[in-house]
Amino acid sequence: MLRRLFRKKPKLDKVKSAMVTTAGVAIRPSKSPDDAYGDLFHDVQQSKVYDDGKTFVDMVPRKRSRELRKEYELARADPNFDLNEFVNRHFYEFRPRRHEPYAPTAATTAREHVANLWPELTRRNRKTRGSLLPIPHSYVVPGGRFSEQFYWDSYFIMLGLAADGEWSTVTGMMKNYTYMLRKFGLIPTANRSYFLSRSQPPFFSQMVKLLARHRGRTRTYAEYLPALLIEYRFWMKGRKFAGEHPDMPAYARVVRMPNGTILNRYYDNKTTPRPESRREDIATAEKAGNANKDKIFLDLRAGAESGWDFSSRWFKDTKDIQSIHTTDMVAVDLNALLYMHEQTIAEAYTLIKQPLLAKRFRRAAEKRAESIRRYCWDAQQNFFCDYDFRNGTSTRKLTLAGVFPLYAKIATSEQAAAVARQIEDKFLCEGGLVTTLVNNGQQWDSPNGWAPLQWVAVQGLREYGYHELANRIRDAWLTSNERVFAAERKMIEKYNVVQVGGVGGGGEYPLQDGFGWTNGVYAALKDDQERANAK
């Protein structure tokens, strides 16, 4: 009898997934908490009911938002009103039912720990729970405060899932993204209502390539071509309007360059404080003393879309977040990824025997590559930098975003050689690559190193034959991961690479454990190291 029940569960699971896939597209998503709760939301976030602003926006209301607003208006008129008590009574934290918590033993290796963590980090949500949006299939979350399917995190998580043969989870996460693309017209930062106005670095084409290794190129590319095209339209929306007026070269996420080609920037569709960081954003805008607070909020949101939230990369004054101007920059990493996106679409059209469409996207990719080399190559710095289109100059800032043209195979051999020298001389530390050369307390700056950027650098250098340097970076990063694991028995979000074995810091929230993309990159690079040592 029990066996029959267990056999039915996968069938029931498939039915529920199918229901979300089909019916869910037609259902309107819930409102962002800042729009839904009105004054209640503002008061909770500004009063610091919770130390972390993300806590409240992730909570689930026990009533409809309209009822909550009305009850709050009446309740707060009472002289003895207690905001904390009101929130505790009307909201709860969604905690998925879990089995006994996993903890590594003294004998567990870091590689074994990563494999053991996948079930711990796997979630499933098929109905709206406050700001958490339903998606059809199970997914792996980063961990800690991040309990959603985050966009660019997912690619690096998938690297580890692939290394451990967890292809069904990879496929499910990919299907979640095709669902979101159909429903929202973009891949949002994560499946939260307050993330629907922005995306993240577009790694979807790289996910398609990864899955194709397992399922076959023609089948995979043909299946995901419609989704690739939807995402491409999202990033290229407004290209007809960009540059219509000389003083307005940009529109949404597109920028018309002086040579007439279209490149891209990070952006957001709202000009209000981020709901999950409302208090911090308002404080930044007030300290800036800038009358145009909407622009500061937009630049903060765009910085969040970049995934680098936050970094001196986006500041006019490298020490001061109040000088943020993300939307003034053509981002070198974003454009390298969109070049790869265009090439992937071209390859898909080739595989399904549509040569004219393949040629169209290949030509677009070639134009983009030429413009990246023209505008983002800084001959003085001997490095790829972001381009400030307002000033018509390179930002002159050395950051690991500059290795993305190597990852995308856009750089010339001379440019790649110069980048490799800079990486070796200025970025490589005992524990891996430092994100920037500026130490200012921001988490995407020195002394922090991050797993995705180590991966991109290693792969990019290998594309141009710099295997010895790539291996040194790999080994240094793995040493960082393993030293911290030996001491703390956990994988973490970011590391201090200047002092090998150090933990990362800075930013708007405490250091997080888990951690999805660290696990994924560690698994892929560790397996690579072991294969190399076995030769």
Beta bridge partners of 143: 146
CA distances to 60, 73, 275, 284 from 279, rounded to whole Å, are 20, 21, 9, 9
CA distances to 36, 126, 160, 164, 193 from 65, rounded to whole Å, are 6, 20, 40, 43, 14
Global pTM?
A: 0.96
Is residue 491 domain-resident? yes
530 is catalytic: no
Is residue 80 domain-resident? yes
Domains in the chain, number: 2
493 is catalytic: yes
| pLDDT at residue number 3 | 36
179 near 227, Cβ under 8 Å?
no
54 near 288, Cβ under 8 Å?
no
Is residue 456 domain-resident? yes
Q: Are strands 254-256 and 329-330 parallel, antiparallel or unpaired?
A: unpaired
**Spatial separation of the C-alpha atoms in residues 181 and 488, rounded to whole Å:** 39
Is residue 176 domain-resident? no
Query: Of residues 309, 342, 388, 482, which has the active-site annotation?
Result: 309
Cα Rg of the chain (Å, integer) = 23
SS3 251: strand
Helices within 289-407 (DSSP H only)? 293-305, 332-351, 355-375, 404-407
| pLDDT at residue number 97 | 67
Token pair recorded at residue 208: 């398609």
Which one of 59, 81, 100 terminates a domain?
Answer: 100
Q: Are strands 329-330 and 387-388 parallel, antiparallel or unpaired?
A: antiparallel
Beta bridge partners of 393: 388
Q: How far apart are the first and last CA of the chain?
A: 51
Other Cβ atoms closer than 10 A to 317: 11
Residues of the chain with pLDDT under 50: 1-8
| pLDDT at residue number 40 | 97
Other Cβ atoms closer than 10 A to 452: 20
Is residue 146 domain-resident? no
Which residue type is seen at 85? Answer: E
Query: What range defines the domain where residue 75 resides?
Result: 32-100
Which residue type is seen at 365? Answer: A
| pLDDT at residue number 9 | 60
Helices within 251-317 (DSSP H only)? 278-288, 293-305
Which one of 100, 121, 153 terminates a domain?
Answer: 100
378 near 330, Cβ under 8 Å?
no
Token pair recorded at residue 352: 């399904």
| pLDDT at residue number 158 | 98
228 near 345, Cβ under 8 Å?
yes
Is residue 429 domain-resident? yes
| pLDDT at residue number 7 | 44
Is residue 50 domain-resident? yes
CA nearest to 202, candidates 189, 214, 212, 185: 189
279 near 48, Cβ under 8 Å?
yes
| pLDDT at residue number 27 | 82
Which residue type is seen at 39? Answer: D
Token pair recorded at residue 280: 């911090």
Burial grade of 302 (CB within 10 A; 0-12, 13-18, 19 or more):
buried
**Spatial separation of the C-alpha atoms in residues 56 and 295, rounded to whole Å:** 25
SS3 377: strand
| pLDDT at residue number 2 | 34
| pLDDT at residue number 95 | 86
Is residue 165 domain-resident? no
